[in-house]
Amino acid sequence: MKRWIAAGAIVAIVVLSLAVAFWQGTGREVGSPKGPSGGQVALVRVEGTIVSGEGSGSLLSGASAGSETIVKHLDRAAEDPAVKAVVLRVNSPGGSVVASWEIAEAVRRVQDAGKPVVVSMGESAASGGYWISAGADRIIASPDTMTGSIGVILQVGNLSEVYEKVGYKTYTFKSGPFKDMGSPDREMTDAERDLLQDLVDETYEAFVRVVAEGRGMDQAQVRKIADGRILTGRKALELGLVDELGDLKRAVQVAAELAGLPGEPEVREMNRANGLLGALLGRGILPPASLGLPSGLYALEPGPVSIR
C-alpha cells in the first residue's frame, strides 16, 4: 500500500510539473525578444566536471558538465537571431581535454556569428574551466574565484605489489609492445613513460597556445604561470588572465554593452527548463530517464587525460 501511495505521489508531482511548465511556456515564444533592449543575452551554464557526452546532474554522482549538451546550447545561441550576446557562466574545476576543446570551439562559433561572449566565473573556473574561458571577449571573475591551474595531468596506477600479495595474476596477449601500456599489474617501461610524457607535453603546448591567443599574451609569458598553480580572481586580474572583478549581473551588463543593447537586456537561460519540472530535473531529484526524457546539462565519462 505504501508503495502505491508513493508511486501515486510521484505521478501527481510529474503531472503538476508538466502543467506548470506548459503554462509558463505559453506566455510567449521562447526566442522572441522583449523589453527595451530588443534583444536577448543568452546565459549558458557550465557546472561541474567537464566531460564528453551529455553529462549528468545526479545528487548522488555529482554534477558534470557534458560537452555535447553545452555545445548544443551555444550553437542554438549562435543561430538564434533574437540572441545578441552570450554569457558563459563557468563553475568547474576542469576535466576532459577533448570536452574542453569542443566547448571552446563552440564559443568561437558564437563569436564568428558576430555575437560577443562574456565569461562569468563562479566558485571555480580552473584548468579545463579556464581553457573554455580563455577565448572569450571578456572574462569576469569574483575576487575569490579559484582559477588558473593551467596544466595537464595523466595518472596511471601500479598495483603489482598488491596483486602479488593477494596472489592475483594476469596473462596478457598483445599485438604490439605498447598495447597494454598503463596496465596496473606491472611496472612501466622507460619507453612507455616517454610516450605518455610526450602525450602530456603535446596537450600542454596546446593549452598554452589557447591561453596565449585568447588573452593576447606571449607564450613565454603564459608558461611562467602555467605550472598548475591555483589563483584567486584578484591574482588572475593582476596577471592578465581575467579582465575585471564582478558578479554574474555585471557579466550580463558587459555582454549587453558589447552587443550594443540599450537598457536592461532580457536574459534567456539556455540550460533550464521552466517550472517545477525544470527545478526537479536540474537538481537530479527526478532523473530525466524516469520521465523518458534525454539527459540534462550534466554520465561521467572522464577521458584518459585531464586538465585539472
Active site residues: 127, 179
Q: Compute how many other C-beta atoms are within 10 angstroms of the C-beta atom of residue 301.
A: 18
CA 131 to chain centre: 10
Question: What does R_g of the chain's alpha carbons equal in angstroms?
Answer: 23
What's the CA angle centered on 257, arms 132 and 93, to 5 degrees? 20
Strands laid side by side in the 62-66 sheet: 56-58, 62-66, 49-51, 95-96, 306-307
Bridge partner residues of 121 (DSSP): 90
Nearest to 200 by CA among 154, 157, 156, 155: 154
Going from the C-alpha of 285 to that of each of 16, 257, 278, the distances in angstroms are: 15, 37, 10
- Cα pseudo-dihedral 222, 224, 229, 230, rounded to 10: -50
